[in-house]
Structure 1
Amino acid sequence: MIKILTFSTLFPNDQQPVHGIFVENRLRHLLSSGKVEARVVAPVPWFPLRQDCFGTYATYAKVCSAETRHGLDIIHPRYPLIPKVGMNWTPGFMYRALRPVIRKIIKDGYDFDLIDAHYFYPDGIAAAMLAREFKKPLTITARGTDLNLIPQFDKPRQMIKQAAEQASGLITVCAALAEPLVDLGIDRSKIHVLRNGVDLTAFQPQDREQARQKLGLTGPTAVSVGGLIERKGHHIAIAAMTGLPELTLLIAGAGPERRNLENLAQEKGVADRVRFLGNVPHRDLPEIYSAADLMLLCSSREGWANVLLESMACGTPVVATDIWGTGEVVTCADAGVLMEDRTPEAVVKGINSLLSALPTRTATRRYAEGFSWDDTTEGQLNLFESILHGH
């Protein structure tokens, strides 16, 4: 039995149940192999006040110190975070805060074989420091912004390179994310592309008419799923609605841009056709996907967007920007359409193209069935076993 310590700030907690849920899903499928035991250390920024006026920081303050999810033990130790100006210091702060935590885990009897870190910066950097101190092998999984944005900054780029060189194995969730590591001088043979999968049991087609009736839908409908932040491009989807007069847009997600997006819908005269659903529990998404004719993703950066496969698994094709790993997810007409640009005009063109030749929901579901977690789990096990054999 391989004993791993999963280390990541990207992991669900009692206050943020879908935060980093893709990390949890991958780990759960790995554990289902019966060949791995795991504990999770999911650090949370320290903040002293819980009043809602402090927004996300108040949410951090409310996160429990320890919990069990799906039979998995998780702790949420705190680390200092200086907003906006502390980027270069955060990995060191995290490392120093986590040293006694890791020491206690080992002392209490869980002497793990390997640290499995998710997200390169600051998580992977701090994990590399901890791996050196406790003399443990390390794997780091890159997931998107950690490699397609953060290395643009000199100091983080240097730290990412050092951590990548130290790690016994590197994982990227799409082939496109391997290139920034190669650009840093990392040997390509050290990089393993293990894509995210989709839970084909949790995400499957629902009764379409019943789902549409429940949501009060009558015409063609698109759903855009993701946090209400600029990078997800909900503003582009809303602007495109002026060129799609028959379409209703559902937006599932929460975030700081909600008021701006609502104002934009009013300015564009489409507020009556744009519905904000708020933060939708993961278990309720299949019904929303099933009710829609298509799922729309206008992101500027993604590693491997899980929402694409979730939608397809429910029989709903997608229209998405052709960035990073998205072209590795959307590879044929049964999956959907890749947009030429990230503009409202490209959204209109992409949606009209898809609606003019919609694949059957059965065909889209069949396509998604090629993306189970099995291959990813096998790849992780092979990598871990190889590392521990060599170590």
Structure 2
Amino acid sequence: MRILIVQESDWLKRGPHQQHQLADRLSLKGHQIRVIDYEILWREQTKKELFSRRQVFQDIGKINPQAKVTVIRPGIIKIPILDYVSLVFTHQREIARQIAEFQPDVLVSFGILNNYLALRAAKKHKIPFIYYWIDVLHHLIPIKPLQFIGQFLESRALRQADRVLTINDKLRDYVLSAGATDKKTRVIRAGIDIEQFKPSGKSSEIRQTYRLRENDVVLFFMGWLYHFSGLKEVALELAKTDDPRLKLLIVGEGDAFEDLKRIQEKHNLQDRVILTGQKPYTKMPAFIEASDICLLPAYPREKVMQDIVPIKLYEYLAMEKPVIATRLPGIMQEFGEDNGVVYINEPEDTIVKAKSLAESDKMGEFGIKARKFVEKYSWNKLTAEFEEILREATGSSKF
């Protein structure tokens, strides 16, 4: 089956997210996958240019190096606001080109602007269109007035899509309230590679690399460092405690990285707040295993966090690590109260809760419950569910 995916994020540098997991696995099963993406991180480039040209990246495997996903990146004008204006024209042209050349059997979208363009093209050419929600994306638009336009486009697409998929029940409730119909809406949850994310009993290499002692209590976060991730507050609370055993290990890059470095330097936390930068996804099980407690201390009132469940939570739990998380509605609905997640009210509560948890005798018990809960969400099973939805949408036997 030929599957065309459109999104408004960088396929190569961001994630891995739901779409990377599914696309790689579908590729390994023989499906042809093409992705139209957007160079969302262009402002961070050291090389300055007024515009970029169309690029094609062949044989991309974000999760599995044997996957063969083709990523097409239309050019844009690299000036704020004009980047999105130019996206409308270049992505519209690219979608038309891919429909003519690639002749996709189905279109799957994870965006807003190019999502609407793809929907119009799909309707024109009678191609089944699947709208896949892993975030409430209009909340992430940096220019507030444009969020209303994004919300309007989302709502129109939800009403017209052939299928709407969400990553959890809370997000399903949201899309139904925004215009999706019940009979067309399904949940395909985030998943876990239960063989890759499996405790091995070997954590010494990472601990040695970052000078973490055996009796240190390592708090761990991985992923994009948004300002609303709550990590700055955790680092500042860590600076107030005189317990040298407490360490904060952060793997990732993002908006809050420089602020975290300043906190680290100002409070002389170089040996207690460890910022590794971005690391290969294949290294994540080892990093999690080297930790004691994993974190998701996001701002509890942040709009974009209300309805989502980040994939990293499943990966933390699969490694038998307890997770400290703020009381976000989507997470509480997904994991409940006794499946390895311990809740706090604010990011500032993280350190006190971590000390209490580390001093208790329940760490092992939490870990066992965590692993048991996520084992039922294997990526192989979820990929098969996604295939079946593609089959239903296309009426196809091309599997």
Choose the corresponding residue for 1:137, options 128, 131, 150: 128
Aligned to 1:96: 89
Aligned to 2:212: 217
Asked if 1:312 is matched to 2:305, the reply is no
Q: Deviations over 1:249-272 (max 9, x none)?
A: 011111243222122234455443
Asked if 1:373 is matched to 2:379, the reply is yes
Asked if 1:80 is matched to 2:84, the reply is no
Tell me by how many angstroms 1:97 deviates.
1.5
Tell me by how many angstroms 1:371 deviates.
1.8
Tell me by how many angstroms 1:46 deviates.
10
Q: Distance in 1 between matches of 2:16 and 2:320?
A: 24
Aligned to 2:63: none
Choose the corresponding residue for 2:232, options 216, 232, 235: 235
Residues 294 and 316 of structure 1 are in contact (CA less than 8 Å); yes or no, is this contact kept in structure 2? yes
Tell me by how many angstroms 1:243 deviates.
4.1
Question: Where does structure 1 lack aligned partners over 5 or more consecutive residues?
Answer: none
Choose the corresponding residue for 2:116, options 116, 125, 132: 125
Q: Deviations over 1:256-315 (max 9, x none)?
A: 432221222344554431111111111111111101001111223442211111122222
Aligned to 1:178: 172
Aligned partner of residue 66 in structure 1, secondary structure: strand
Aligned partner of residue 76 in structure 1, secondary structure: strand
Tell me by how many angstroms 1:365 deviates.
3.1
Residues 95 and 129 of structure 1 are in contact (CA less than 8 Å); yes or no, is this contact kept in structure 2? no
Aligned partner of residue 185 in structure 1, secondary structure: coil
Asked if 1:204 is matched to 2:198, the reply is yes
Moved more, 360-369 or 276-285: 360-369
Aligned partner of residue 117 in structure 2, secondary structure: helix
Residues 232 and 299 of structure 1 are in contact (CA less than 8 Å); yes or no, is this contact kept in structure 2? yes
Asked if 1:385 is matched to 2:391, the reply is yes
Q: Distance in 1 between matches of 2:353 and 2:139?
A: 25
Aligned to 1:347: 350
Q: Deviations over 1:29-53 (max 9, x none)?
A: 344555x443222233697x99616
**Code of the aligned partner of 1:275:** I
Residues 2 and 104 of structure 2 are in contact (CA less than 8 Å); yes or no, is this contact kept in structure 1? yes
Matches within 5 A, 1:265-276: 265-268=264-267, 270-276=269-275
**Code of the aligned partner of 1:118:** F
Q: Distance in 2 between matches of 1:316 and 1:309?
A: 10
**Code of the aligned partner of 1:182:** L
Structure 1 length as normaliser, TM-score?
Answer: 0.83
Aligned partner of residue 58 in structure 2, secondary structure: strand
Aligned to 1:112: 104
Q: Distance in 2 between matches of 1:81 and 1:180?
A: 33
Aligned partner of residue 239 in structure 1, secondary structure: helix
Tell me by how many angstroms 1:363 deviates.
4.7
Residues 295 and 316 of structure 1 are in contact (CA less than 8 Å); yes or no, is this contact kept in structure 2? yes
Residues 172 and 194 of structure 1 are in contact (CA less than 8 Å); yes or no, is this contact kept in structure 2? yes
Tell me by how many angstroms 1:328 deviates.
4.4
Q: Deviations over 1:81-114 (max 9, x none)?
A: 676546xx93x74343134433433443x32111
Q: Deviations over 1:165-204 (max 9, x none)?
A: 1100111111111222222233233221111101223222
Change (3 A) 1:329 1:243: farther
Residues 28 and 68 of structure 2 are in contact (CA less than 8 Å); yes or no, is this contact kept in structure 1? no
Choose the corresponding residue for 1:187, options 181, 189, 205: 181
Tell me by how many angstroms 1:324 deviates.
4.2
**Code of the aligned partner of 1:234:** L
Tell me by how many angstroms 1:143 deviates.
1.2
Change (3 A) 1:106 1:144: closer
Aligned partner of residue 363 in structure 2, secondary structure: coil
Q: Distance in 1 between matches of 2:54 and 2:220?
A: 30
Q: Distance in 1 between matches of 2:169 and 2:113?
A: 22
Change (3 A) 1:248 1:271: same
Residues 54 and 75 of structure 2 are in contact (CA less than 8 Å); yes or no, is this contact kept in structure 1? no
Asked if 1:358 is matched to 2:338, the reply is no
**Code of the aligned partner of 1:348:** I
Residues 46 and 61 of structure 1 are in contact (CA less than 8 Å); yes or no, is this contact kept in structure 2? no
Give the root-mean-square deviation of aligned CA atoms.
3.2
Q: Distance in 2 between matches of 1:381 and 1:353?
A: 44
Question: Where does structure 2 lack aligned partners over 5 or more consecutive residues?
Answer: 61-65
Q: Distance in 2 between matches of 1:93 and 1:318?
A: 42
Aligned partner of residue 44 in structure 1, secondary structure: coil
Aligned to 1:259: 258
Q: Distance in 2 between matches of 1:166 and 1:80?
A: 28
